[in-house]
Amino acid sequence: MKSYFLRYCILAFITFMFSCNKERFITDHSAKLGFSNDTVLFDTVFTAIGSTTHQLVVHNPHNEWIRISEIRLDHKSTASNPTSNFRLNINGNQSNTAINVEIPPKDSIYIFVEVTVNPNGQNNPMVIQDSITFITNDNNQHVDLVAFGQDCHIFRGQVFNNQTWVNDKPYLIFNSMGVNQNQVLTIEAGCHIHFHHNSSMYVLGTLIVNGTLHDSVIFEGDRLEKMYDDVPGQWGYIHLLAGSVNSNINYAEIKNSIIGIQVDTCVNANPTLILSNTRIEHVSIAGLFAQEATIKAWNCLIADCGQYSVALSIGGSYEFYQTTIANYWTYSNRMTPALVLNNYYKDIYNHINIRPLKKAYFGNCIIYGSLKNEILLDEYHNTDADFSYMFDHCLVRTDSTVFNNSNSAHFIDIIKNLDPVFISTFKYDYHPDASSPAKDKGDPNIGNLFPLDINGISRTKGKPDLGAYEYLPNQK
End-to-end CA distance of the chain: 90
Considering the domain 34-149 in this protein, what is its CATH number? 2.60.40.10
Query: Residue 222 has what DSSP assignment?
Result: S
Choose among 171, 166, 202, 172: nearest CA to 187: 166
Inform me whether the pLDDT recorded for 76 exceeds 80: no
Q: pLDDT averaged over the chain?
A: 90
Q: Where exactly are the structural domains of the chain?
A: 34-149, 151-449
Between 271 and 374, the more confident residue is 374
In this model, does residue 48 exceed pLDDT 60? yes
- Nearest Cα to 208, choosing from 238, 173, 168? 238
Range 78-88 average pLDDT: 78
Mean pLDDT for the stretch of residues 254-283:
92
Pairwise CA distance, residues 356 & 265, whole Å? 12
Number of H helices, E strands in the chain: 2, 42
- Of 108-112, 132-136, 147-151, 308-312, the poorest mean pLDDT is in 147-151
Tens of pLDDT, residues 172-183 = 998 899 999 999
Give exposure, 108-134, as e/b (b: 16+ Cβ within 10 Å): bbebbbbbbbeeeeeeeeeebebbbeb
Cβ burial of 8 (10 Å; 0-12, 13-18, 19+) is exposed
In this predicted structure, the answer to whether residue 20 has a pLDDT above a threshold of 50 is no
Determine the length of the chain: 476
pLDDT at residue 16, rounded to an integer: 46
Residue 18 has pLDDT above 50, yes or no: no
Question: In terms of C-beta density within 10 A (0-12 exposed, 13-18 middle, 19 or more buried), how is residue 82 classed?
Answer: exposed
Question: pLDDT confidence of 91, banded at 50, 70, 90?
Answer: very high
Which are the contacts of 77, defined by CB distance < 8 A and separation ≥ 6? 83
Give pLDDT, residue 117.
79
- Which of 212-221, 260-269, 277-286, 335-344 shows the lowest per-residue confidence on average (mean pLDDT)? 260-269
CA gap 379, 339 in Å, rounded: 14
How many whole angstroms separate alpha carbon 375 and alpha carbon 194?
32
How many CA atoms within 13 Å lie on the side-chain side of 93? 11
